[in-house]
A and B are shown apart, each in its own frame.
Chain A
């Protein structure tokens, strides 16, 4: 019987045919954790599960990205523990300060493969669907058990198919596609479900990562792009992984990309979406270009193209944090960084940066930030009454230039 992509991947990982609704125990090809969770994960492994040696250290990965470099003594101590743990357990996939954001590196460093299952102690682990992997976020205990056993339990999700057609207009981004989707289905629209993106052939790997990253903001367990030539350019795709006629979809949503315009999620909800042009004039104090959602070279290129030869508005600070060391290096070598610096932006070390309001770019009371990140919850980036607007790199650059939220199409 025909299966969805999630059912195919989870059947392979379970070693038996599974269907939506089944409870399955699956092999985890890659389990990953991050600096902010590693200390508690190590405690669960050593103190609660009494693990001495991990059975599959080659399937684990640890990233120091959430507070990188360390900002205070507790975070420094936590990172020391993570380093020692990785060394003691022989976890070679250990990425220290400055290497970049976990999700970016999982794909960039080929730590996750098409058709496999990856779990991460970070909700944006849905990103791996960009290369047709079943990636899902879990908590400390779940990921600790995946480290300890190489397996996890899950309920095979129902799938919603999202059919994309047409091409994006200039200055419109994958971020706008996913914000459009959020406005349609809302923040809990895909809870417990998998999303399967069809017709994404015109979208780059970078754009697909943006799409899949944000599926968690709709409650999805996984977001998977149908593998195609773009996927194969990155990594081999197993022969068995393909769209099957007759697969059961719980719902089908169609989106014409040519109908989409630059959009913005307004505080404090990710699904409170309005066209950028309608928000024109909203003052901002800080523009943040970065994160696992939109901190890649493509995003830096898009921003630099808008900022080129101009300067950001007085009274606005623009912080750019590349998603990885490789992104930073490429942006340095191709001159993008120089263009951003000339426009008045500043650069932070690769990592999660200001997105989580812990160690840099923290917002003060009443401040307004335009961010290319994925969450605008109250208090997310600092003071609970600070306001966070979310959008693409294009809208971020146009907004930095004018000092107020600006539709990038309004910039000549």
Chain B
């Protein structure tokens, strides 16, 4: 089983990855080792692919930096579950194909608790059983089914809901 990483409210993008550690200042390859480097130094060394982030409201507020969700993706985070997400982070994560679930589980789970999440099932499984998660809106599911907006656009040559394909 994987584990849950529990965070509070208003986790900002400077906590997820400070600007000083951006790929622009360092390198893309180093991104994975800088996730939560100052806010939660045990995260990057211990996180394993398939682990789940459960957080409080307004997760990802602050900067538009896409390398914040990308760093979490590179760590192999299976999904992020929070009662609300900051809007740019929300878009970025959808575009990158990172599963997000809008639900408040902060009182139901604990940090380090064993858990497994299959995004397709929308179910967080712990030793206590399955916690069902609300599925995202249809257009988000469409993008996520393709693995992100770039893959979606490459396949359909249009945005979700658009009728006419567009090529360059």
Contacts and interface: CB of A to CB of B under 8 A. Distances in A.
A19 interface: no
Nearest to B14: A377
Contact of A53 (B57, B149, B150, B168): B168
Interface stretch (B22-30, B103-111, B126-134): B22-30
Interface stretch (B47-55, B86-94, B117-125): B86-94
A339 interface: no
A153 B25 contact: no
A366 to B, nearest CB: 14
A384 B64 contact: no
A357 B24 contact: no
Contacts, number: 151
Contact of A356 (B10, B19, B84): B19
A121 B92 CA distance: 11
Contacts of A145: 149-150, 153, 159
Contacts of B10: 187-188, 269
Contact of B15 (A36, A37, A379): A379
A137 interface: yes
Interface string A109-126: 000000000001111010
Nearest to B160: A153
A153 B159 contact: yes
B136 to A, nearest CB: 12
A138 B84 contact: no
Q: Which one of B57, B66, B153, B162 has the highest number of Cβ atoms from chain A below 10 Å of its Cβ?
A: B66
Contacts of B62: 123, 375, 377
A123 B63 contact: yes
Given A121-B64, A188-B10, A188-B58, A138 B160 contact: no
A298 interface: no
B61 interface: yes
Q: Which one of A51, A78, A125, A219 has the highest number of Cβ atoms from chain B below 10 Å of its Cβ?
A: A219
Given A25-B161, A379-B38, A357 B66 contact: no
B161 A153 contact: yes
A221 B66 CA distance: 17
A378 B64 contact: no
Given A25-B161, A137-B64, A378-B38, A74 B25 contact: yes
B58 A78 contact: no
Given A49-B153, A67-B24, A141-B95, A221 B87 contact: yes
Nearest to B92: A139
A187 B65 contact: no
A358 B19 contact: yes
Contacts of A191: 58, 84, 86-87
Nearest to B89: A139
Given A149-B166, A219-B61, A141 B148 contact: yes
Given A123-B62, A188-B58, A379 B18 contact: yes
A273 interface: no
A71 B168 CA distance: 36
B87 A74 contact: no
B155 interface: no
A75 B86 contact: no
Given A219-B86, A269-B10, A40 B161 contact: no
A262 interface: no
B150 A48 contact: yes
B142 to A, nearest CB: 11
Interface string B136-148: 0001000000001
Given A358-B19, A380-B14, A139 B88 contact: yes
A358 B20 contact: yes
B168 A52 contact: yes
Contacts of B6: none
A92 B154 CA distance: 28
A23 B66 contact: no
A188 B168 contact: no
A308 B100 CA distance: 53
A67 B86 contact: no
B114 interface: no
A151 B159 contact: yes
Interface in A20-51: 23-25, 35-37, 39-40, 44, 48-49, 51
Contacts of A141: 66, 92, 95-96, 148-150
Contacts of A233: none
Given A141-B92, A379-B39, 9 more contacts: A23-B160, A137-B64, A142-B95, A151-B166, A221-B87, A358-B25, A377-B14, A379-B20, A379-B38
Interface of A: 23-25, 35-37, 39-40, 44, 48-49, 51-55, 66-67, 71-72, 74-75, 78, 120-123, 125, 137-142, 145, 148-149, 151-153, 187-188, 191-192, 219, 221, 269, 356-358, 362, 375, 377-380, 382, 384
For the complex of A and B, the 4 pairs showing the least CB-CB separation, nearest first, are: A139-B66, A139-B92, A188-B58, A384-B38
